[in-house]
Amino acid sequence: MAYGGAATIEPHESLTGNVQVIVDPAAVNDPNNFNLNIARKAYGIEFTPELALIHEFGHALAYMSDRDEAFDLWSVETENQMRLRLDPNAKLRTSERPLTPDPKTLRLRARRLPTPQRRAEMERRERERLYRLANRDARP
């Protein structure tokens, strides 16, 4: 599993053709998880499978909203929102990368050009959206 035990899979990488979020609770709870131990030291916070899930949902939301430049920003923001809901005095994560925990690194990144697979997926979604719009008045 990527990094700390969770991953967001893009449609062109997944077998279903959809964005997928995967969390391995055993890896997130493993006290010997090297990447999470670095993050624990860098941020002074704990991680749970539930927080890993909401973090990955932030990545997925950015991807599905066609806001690739917000991929890192939204994941940390959704995780921090959940941390605050669980404990209003919680310490917050300050960046996506534990080796650079400076909040200045948590900004919109340069928008990447879509790959041919991504472009084809975007065009397919747009055709489906237009088809649904065109046919919604035809329903009984």
pLDDT digits (tens, 9 = 90+) for 55-112: 999 999 988 887 777 788 889 899 999 999 999 998 888 888 777 666 665 665 555 5
- Nearest-Å Rg of the Cα atoms of the chain is 18
| pTM (predicted TM-score) | 0.71
